Chain A
C-alpha cells in the first residue's frame, strides 16, 4: 500500500535558524512527489513537483530535494511568515489527480 510519512510532526525555529523537513514514501512506481503549504483556516497551496531522484526545486527560502526513498524540504533563514503546515504528497500510480498525503509538519518560526 502506498504510504507517505512526514517528520517531525512539529518544528519550532528561531528566525534565521535553517532546518529541514523530511518526507519518506513507499509507492509502487513514483509518478511525482509534491509539496504543499497550508495556513490555518485555508486550503493547501501548491509549492513544488519533483519527478525523479536527484531533482531539486527552489522558491525563495525553500528548496525541495528528492531521493529514491525520501524528499527533504530545506528552509534557509526562515522568517515568521514561513510558519505553516507543510504537506508532502505522492501521486497514485495511474492517470488521476488522486494524491496520497502525509500528515504534515507544523512549522512555527519565532522572531
Chain B
C-alpha cells in the first residue's frame, strides 16, 4: 500500500515569510504526527492530530500550527519564518489507537530559510 506522502519535498523561503507543508497518511491511519529534525537537536515533536483533533503539542512557539482534515490528511504552517526554522519536517502516521510506537514516516519536507 502507498506510504506517507509529504509535499513539497524541498522549499526555500526567506525570513518573515510563511510556509505550509502537507502530509497524506497511509490509508486507514487516523493519527498524524509532525516532527522537526535538525543536526543539533535531532527529532523533536511538534504536534499530533487524531480524528481532526490536536491530541498533543510539543514545546514550539505559536508560529507553528497544524490541522487535520476529515480524510486524515494534515497540514502544518509556520508563520514569520526565522533562520532557525531551517530543518527537515517529518510527518508520521499510525492507526492512533494502539500506541505501539510504530510510526510510519514520510520522506520529509526540507525547508531552507534564507
B residues near A91, Cβ cutoff 8 Å? 99, 101
CA distance A51 to B12 in the complex (A): 41
A98 in contact with B100 (CB, 8 Å)? no
B42 near A99 with CB under 8 A, answer: no
Q: Complex: how many Å from CA A32 to CA B44?
A: 18
Whether B101 and A43, one on each chain, are in contact in the complex, defined by CB atoms closer than 8 angstroms, is: no
Residue of B with least CB distance to A33:
B101
Residue from the set A41, A87, A98 with the largest chain B CB neighbour count within 10 Å: A98
Question: Are A96 and B55 touching (Cβ within 8 A)?
Answer: yes
Q: With A and B bound together, what is the CA distance between A10 and B45 in angstroms?
A: 23
Cβ of A84 < 8 Å from any Cβ of B? Answer: no
Docked complex: B28-84 residues within 8 A CB-CB of A: 31, 33, 35, 41-45, 48, 55-56, 58
Interface residue count on the A side (C-beta < 8 Å): 25
- Are A41 and B102 in contact, CB atoms less than 8 angstroms apart? no
Q: Which of A15-23, A52-60, A67-75, A100-108 contacts B (4 or more CB under 8 A)?
A: A100-108
User: Which residue on chain B has the smallest CB distance to residue A96?
Assistant: B56
Given known A-B contacts A97-B31, A99-B45, A101-B42, A46 and B103 have beta carbons under 8 A apart: yes
Which of A43, A49, A103 contacts B107, CB < 8 Å? A43
